[in-house]
Amino acid sequence: MVLTFIFPGARCEITGGERNNGGAITIEADRVRVLDGARLSTDVIGPLIPPLTPTIGNAGDIFVTARESLEIRGTNPGQFSSGIASSIQFLGIGEAGNIKINAGQLALSNGGTITSAIAGNLIAANAGQGIAGDITIQANDVQVSDPIFDPFSQATSGITVAIGSNATGQGGNINLNANSLRVLNGGQITSSTDGRGAAGNVNLQVNNITVEGISQPLTDGRILPSTITAASTTTSDAGSVSLVVNQLNVLNNGQISVSNTGGGNAGNLLVNANQIKLERGGSLLSEVSAGDRGNITLNTDVLLMRYGSHINTNATGTATGGNITINAPIIIGLENSDITANAIEGAGGNIDITTQGLFGLEFRDQLTLESDITASSQFGVSGTVQINNFGVDPNSGLVELPANVTDPSQQIATGCADTSSNSFIATGRGGIPQNPSQELRSDRTWSDVRDISAFRQTQPVQAKISTTPENPTETFTQATSWHRNAQGKIELVADKVFSNMQKSLTCAAVPKS
């Protein structure tokens, strides 16, 4: 079954009174489509005409189950975005509903949004007050792309929990579990506060995450990078971002960030991953202007940074720079990719790296066109950089060699009798040609060049007891040649009889042919 919602969609609103509870929206189908400005929403809204008495109540929850897919896309002619939303609006007081989505595939594009918010207003007395709901998403594949600026909510589309300008309350959390998450072309996953109240957290547990690219220019003139963020623009605290992921890719100016630019505390960015790849301007960022925190912690097997990617904690004003902690056996930084913890007037943050191999990156006092690690403050105290090489013992490569490198007496075999064959063949160490111009042949075998002294033995000659009689019979030896003696007589002679030599185990006892 396919359910398609077009403008205006399905809404459940509380528009007056006190202590009211709004109804829930529950949708279940194989495929659900929310298109062309349609909304599935639960809201608390105050009166739009006098008397301007606040509406007090709680918005209902929203449950959507789309076994195959949920698509949220497009806007209406007034540029109001399609979406699933729960909010406390103008002159509303209460709790926004929670949004729970279970889908095979979830796609938000061209203005599609999922949001829970306390809406703001230019007049503080008219802004919403209360607690934003949580957004919980369970899906196989999620894609968020191509945002718009919504003139109704004064917010950018995407997956968002927010406290609007001048609103008061507590932000909700974003909890997302999926096999894959793609945030593309300026797509936004954000927890934010522009009012009085702390923003919620962003918690993602995904097998593969890709954050890539920038948006087309929005109607308010902005061009946005694809972003996963927790941010505050006021003295209220920002939330934190926590990612548990197998493969994290932040590419082509995509960003994952925590920030507070209004004087409050920033949240922290924590990533636990098997592999992190930052490429072509992809960044992990933290920014704080006067508050605290804004730390970045990365636990990964491999960290790869290329083509101008960054891991930065920046502190403006009097704020102290956030700390960067990286635990990764392999860290590679190439093509002007930097790890920096910098400040202006406050102290620079500290950088603590624990690794077995650091390639391409070097500590420097200031940024260069190379790949740098810096912890500095323009007018304050610079931070520290600590690089710990675990599992590597520099002394393990120092081997004490024997003073007597070669003992010929233990390497050269004793001579062999001429009654046995022996030979000496020099073939190199085997396995590869002795120079690059020679071909590699299959008959080049490995040669055993180990010390053979432990196997070198001799066979002692045992003394024999003579059993011959006192007057042994004379034995005759066959003559092999003749010569003339000093008296001029001819004598027959035989070859010299050699005594048996001690045979070495290294001699081949093969009779000469």
Mean pLDDT in consecutive groups of 10 residues from the start of the chain, 513 residues: 86 84 93 94 86 89 96 89 93 94 97 93 88 97 93 85 93 97 97 94 98 92 95 94 98 97 92 98 93 90 96 88 94 95 87 94 90 88 86 57 60 58 60 58 58 58 51 64 72 64 50 52
- Determine the residue type at 27: I
- β-strands 490-493, 481-484: how paired? antiparallel
> Which has the closest alpha carbon to 116: 237, 181, 186, 199?
199
Provide the CB-side half-sphere exposure for 251 (13 A, CA). Answer: 11
SS3 of residue 455 by DSSP: helix
What is the pLDDT, as a whole number, of residue 51?
A: 78
Residue 189 contacts residue 218 (beta carbons within 8 Å): no
> Residues near 17 by Cβ (< 8 Å), separated by ≥ 6?
55, 56, 57
Residue 339 contacts residue 311 (beta carbons within 8 Å): yes
The domain locations on the chain are: 2-239
Report residue 258: phi and psi, to 5°.
Answer: -130, 145
What is the pLDDT, as a whole number, of residue 26?
A: 96
Residue 268 contacts residue 296 (beta carbons within 8 Å): yes
CA dist 168 and 120 (Å) reads 8
Q: Report DSSP state, residue 77.
A: T
Point out which residues pair with 246 in neighbouring strands: none
Place of tokens 């790890």: 339
Q: Report DSSP state, residue 64.
A: E
> Which has the closest alpha carbon to 39: 153, 132, 134?
153
Is omega for the bond preceding 472 within 30 degrees of 0, making it cis? no
Residue 17 contacts residue 93 (beta carbons within 8 Å): no
> Residues near 412 by Cβ (< 8 Å), separated by ≥ 6?
none
Place of tokens 């809201």: 43
Report residue 467: phi and psi, to 5°.
Answer: -115, 15
Q: Exposed/middle/buried for 207, CB within 10 Å: 0-12, 13-18, 19+? A: middle
**Predicted TM-score (pTM) of this structure:** 0.76
What is the pLDDT, as a whole number, of residue 343?
A: 87
What is the pLDDT, as a whole number, of residue 211?
A: 98
SS3 of residue 124 by DSSP: helix
H-helix segments, 348-500: 408-411
CA dist 146 and 186 (Å) reads 6
CA dist 384 and 508 (Å) reads 70
